[in-house]
Amino acid sequence: MFEKLKQLFADVDDASMEKMTLELVTAALLLEVSKADFQEDPAEIDKIRDILVQHFSVSLGDINAFIDEARSTASDSTSLYPFTRYINDNCNNIEKYQLVVALWEVALEDGRIDKYEDHLIRKISDLIYLPHSEFIRAKLSVMGNT
């Protein structure tokens, strides 16, 4: 019985991982940060659009549909695990650092870093095994640019 349950959960997990892409995972995590302070600021959403267009193959014409897809993916998920697992399986430390920089950029876009945003970024950094010194370096680099 337990083997059947394990297989059922493994099949569901594998199916959700198959549709994941780095762009989608990044967008979902950026959106999670944007709503961590219980306010989805339009400036933060614009920053997410900029990041996705600049760093990924998302075109300006497709960006709104892509963000809607990322929102749907994030709302369907019950945890950060599928996203952080994808990052751990597919990214090196430099890419993880760049992701955390992008998370800080979104959090700071409204002019302040809320304690919930800080907590969520710290949690994501821990889950992707980014060294704490790199987490701090990413935060300081973004705060130094404002």
CB 134 within 8 A of CB 97: yes
* For helices 2-18 and 81-90, angle between their N-to-C axes, nearest 10 degrees: 70
Better pLDDT: 3 or 12: 3
Q: Which domains does the chain have, with CATH numbers?
A: 2-144 (1.10.3680.10)
Where does the pLDDT of residue 9 fall: very low under 50, low under 70, confident under 90, or very high at 90 and above?
low
**Average pLDDT for 86-103:** 97
Q: What is the pLDDT of residue 56?
A: 87
Report residue 103 as tokens: 């998370």
pTM of the predicted model, to two decimals? 0.85
The answer on pLDDT for 13 being more than 90 is no
Is residue 97's pLDDT more than 50? yes
Greater pLDDT, 103 or 64? 103
Q: Is the pLDDT of residue 10 over 90?
A: no
Contact 135, 122 (CB under 8 A): yes
> In whole angstroms, what is the distance from residue 144 CA to residue 8 CA?
48
